[in-house]
Amino acid sequence: MIPNKLKPGDEVRVIAPSRSMVIIGEDCKKIATERLESLGLKVTFGKHVMEADPDYLCASIESRVEDLNEAFRDNNVKAILTVIGGFNSNQLLDYIDYDAIKENPKIFCGFSDITALSNSIYAKTGLVTYSGPHWSSFGMLKGFDYEFEYFKKMFMEDEEIEITSSKEWSDDAWFLDQENREFIPNEGMFIINEGVAEGEIVGGNLCTLNLLQGTEYMPDISNKVLFIEDDDMAGKIYLMEFDRNLQSLMHMPEFKTVRGIVLGRSQKATAMTKEKWMKLIKNKKELANIPVIAGADFGHSTPIFTFPIGGYAKLSAKDGDIKLTIKG
């Protein structure tokens, strides 16, 4: 079930199912809203987006669920964007009105901690959801063009999208200093295992996706193409942390039919290199016969492209050339 594309005049609802909007600066709020309005979209906000528990920096479970369910039930709302990520969106899974989502399918987009919601909604309803920018991401003054273009391609156009690498990327705290940015030339995607694959997409933030294992909220990964990444919280032990999280996913019985893997770009603090990615994947004999590429523009650095969870991917990684297309 693919939601309708956006058109000028449509209402976009911003909700905070993870951390609260209270942590977002006023300049960022203004830029984000104006950028979406430049597409002709009407931006509205959930009732509880500014609530924040002092320890969790998010609203109560009840408030977050109310805003999520209300956004899906409101027929005027055509897309839902999350404020930002965090840690606790999986607290909401038992309380979501999945029937209302089935009856009112619409765009739902975010990344990081929102992986839990996007994949559970897809698993429970069949609605294609999206790993893409938060509402707050639109508040980035510089270096957002690539991200903005792929957002428009995914949500305002109908064609299959070919993924090309951004010219440069950044892992700086842009929300603290919008003017003095550090941009790094992008070496682009690279092949670890050659091959050709196509299939439905499942994925997002790996450690968050793994929170769903063994529950009714975990999507079926049979015959899927996995798009996975993780943040830099593990620092220089990222290699080992990512390895064990990937291994956990690989222990699922249906992993045997996974058709391919696309790995998102790692952050600077992870100290990951091409050689380390090669070592991590090549050590896993179970992956020897499927294509695996890395360095794709999604994850916790910027910019990112938007991809559809439950949508379709075609991947060709042969003779040093990569072609990746998505649709959803």
Catalytic residues: 112, 229, 300
State the Cα–Cα distance between residues 5 and 155, nearest whole angstrom: 5
**Token pair 């709020």 is at which residue?**
29
Residue 100, beta-bridge partner list: none
Cα gap 327→163, rounded to integer Å: 11
Other Cβ atoms within 10 Å of 97 Cβ, number: 15
110's enclosing H/E stretch is strand 107-110
Alpha-carbon distance of 94 to 147, in angstroms, equals 32
Residue 312 has phi, psi (to 5 degrees) of -125, 140
Nearest to 96 by CA among 108, 84, 110: 108
Distance CA 28, CA 258 (A): 39
Determine the distance from the C-alpha atom of residue 236 to the mean position of all C-alpha atoms in its chain, rounded to a whole number. 23
CA distances 24 to 94, 300, 317, Å, are 28, 17, 40
Contact in structure between 217 and 120 (CB atoms under 8 Å): yes
**C-alpha angle with apex 204: 145 to 144, nearest 5 degrees?**
10
105 strand-pairing partners:
none
d(CA 143, CA 165): 14
**Residue 201 phi, psi dihedral angles, 5° rounding:** -95, 135
